[in-house]
Structure 1
Amino acid sequence: MNTTQRVKRLYMSTISIIGSGGMAAAIGGLSVKAGHTVEVISRDTVKARALAEQIGQGATTGSFRAVPAGDIVILAVPYLAVLDVVKQYSEALAGKILVDITNPVATDYTSFVTPDDSSGAQEIASIAPADAQVVKAFNTLFSHVLAAGPTEGHPLDVFIAGDNGQAKTRVSAFIESLGLRPMDTGPLFMARTLEHACLLSLGLITHSIKHSKFSIGVSLLG
């Protein structure tokens, strides 16, 4: 049994995804392939049901603002909506691991809508229940690249940041179970740096690569 298989066996769980867009579909699709149970939640119940049907393999839908079934909750909504979502859920998110995948990029695509000394993840943590743990992850990957998964010789790196070691271990194990490579960047304040990677990607698309079929990752030498 290889490392990925061991991780899958140890960490099979229910993953709740709040959102119904491209990233929700990509993470949900990889999750069911890895053997996880997926719960899709959205304000729009029609979209939630459609995504659950698209994901298949027993994916279910949950009620918006009810306690999510999963211990890991993926916040797969745009940043401009995520703070309102977290506020509406309030104590229903108590004790959960909240995975923030957002990028709080302003409309000029060169700055952020968050305070200069903060990040999207830190803003979420400031309003989440005290015993919820926020982990930044997945924000440096395009949804279509993530959905396609890694190719031979080209792993997909998922950079993470968070203040709670146990939460990061759980999220790292989840990421590994999807066949991806978690890369811990440190405490939650590093989320700001990860969000800058979104601006880096936008700059590459505009000035050099000219398309979005790429991922930012680490090449390990030697």
Structure 2
Amino acid sequence: MTTATPQRLTLVGAGNMARGIATRALAGRHTVRILGRDTAKAEKLVADLAGTAPDADVRVGGEQDVAAADIVVLALPFEAAKAVAASHAAVLDGKTVVDITNPVDYAGWTGLTVPAGTSAAEEIAASAPGAHVVKAFNTTFAGTLAAGSLPDGVPLDLFLAGDDEEAKGQVARIGRDGGMHVIDAGPLARARELEGFQFLHMALQGSLGSNWMSGIKIVLP
């Protein structure tokens, strides 16, 4: 748990991934604002989070919380995240923006929807060129984030990719304070491999029978 000044996270989205990431952030005593298109859904998520952590600083947010945030997490599907990045490019200028997306072809599960030689993270960065985009949380499933570990109690690995070291450090702190093992995967271009790796992880869920509670883990000697 951190004793330093809490970071202010604004999560754009109120789905399962927003729940999981908010849970890790609140475990580290950080401040969370939930901004959702469906206000009732955002209010329900905030109530649930506050119920499990009564002293947590978590509230429904508004557009002003995007501007006030230290870190903005786009907890949305790829195309929606890209659209939000583009429409908020001015306010995101200079901010740390977390892309959690996996641009998967869900219709046929044939691969990723972005062209070879790029990634969802890089396309989002191009949509908000002044933002410091960090790829993170895309290799962790929502249920494991909410639980705080894999089913056997092994800490979750949080892979980061980004071109700005300070921005990566901010996101790394959220992970570490929330009990995760942080791995710096390198520049933002490494998001290509992280997205491809997670596509395989997702595609294997049926054969693994892990009910979306497995994780990608680097085991050190």
- Distance between the aligned counterparts of 1:163 and 1:197, measured in 2? 20
- Distance between the aligned counterparts of 2:92 and 2:46, measured in 1? 21
Partner of 1:194: 194
**Are the counterparts in 2 of residues 65 and 88 from structure 1 also a CA contact under 8 Å?**
no
Matched, 1:146 2:145: yes
- Distance between the aligned counterparts of 1:172 and 1:202, measured in 2? 24
Picking from 23, 27, 46, the partner of 2:17 is 23
- Deviation, structure 1 residue 99: 0.7
| Residues 70/11 of structure 1: CA separation in 2 closer, same or farther (3 Å cut) | same
- Deviation, structure 1 residue 62: 1.8
| Residues 163/93 of structure 1: CA separation in 2 closer, same or farther (3 Å cut) | same
Provide the aligned length of Structure 1 versus Structure 2.
214
| Residues 200/158 of structure 1: CA separation in 2 closer, same or farther (3 Å cut) | same
SS in 2 for 1:40: strand
Structure 2: stretches of 5+ with no match in the other structure = 51-55
Matched, 1:92 2:86: no
| AA at the equivalent of 2:149 | P
**Are the counterparts in 2 of residues 11 and 174 from structure 1 also a CA contact under 8 Å?**
no
RMSD of Structure 2 on Structure 1 (CA) = 1.8
- Distance between the aligned counterparts of 1:205 and 1:13, measured in 2? 34
Matched, 1:119 2:113: no
**Are the counterparts in 1 of residues 30 and 57 from structure 2 also a CA contact under 8 Å?**
no
Identical counterparts, % of pairs: 38
TM-score (norm 2): 0.90
SS in 2 for 1:179: coil
* Larger CA deviation: 147-156 vs 121-130: 147-156
Partner of 1:46: 40
- Deviation, structure 1 residue 64: 4.0
- Distance between the aligned counterparts of 2:135 and 2:91, measured in 1? 20
- Distance between the aligned counterparts of 1:40 and 1:116, measured in 2? 33
Partner of 2:167: 167
- Distance between the aligned counterparts of 2:180 and 2:89, measured in 1? 31
Partner of 1:76: 75
Partner of 2:178: 178
Partner of 2:203: 203
**Residues 156-193 of structure 1: per-residue CA shift (max 9 Å, x gap):** 10111001111111111121011101101111010010
SS in 1 for 2:117: coil
| AA at the equivalent of 1:36 | H
- Deviation, structure 1 residue 211: 3.2
- Distance between the aligned counterparts of 2:90 and 2:42, measured in 1? 22
* Larger CA deviation: 208-217 vs 82-91: 208-217
- Distance between the aligned counterparts of 2:41 and 2:18, measured in 1? 11
**Are the counterparts in 1 of residues 10 and 73 from structure 2 also a CA contact under 8 Å?**
yes
- Distance between the aligned counterparts of 2:132 and 2:18, measured in 1? 20
SS in 2 for 1:27: helix
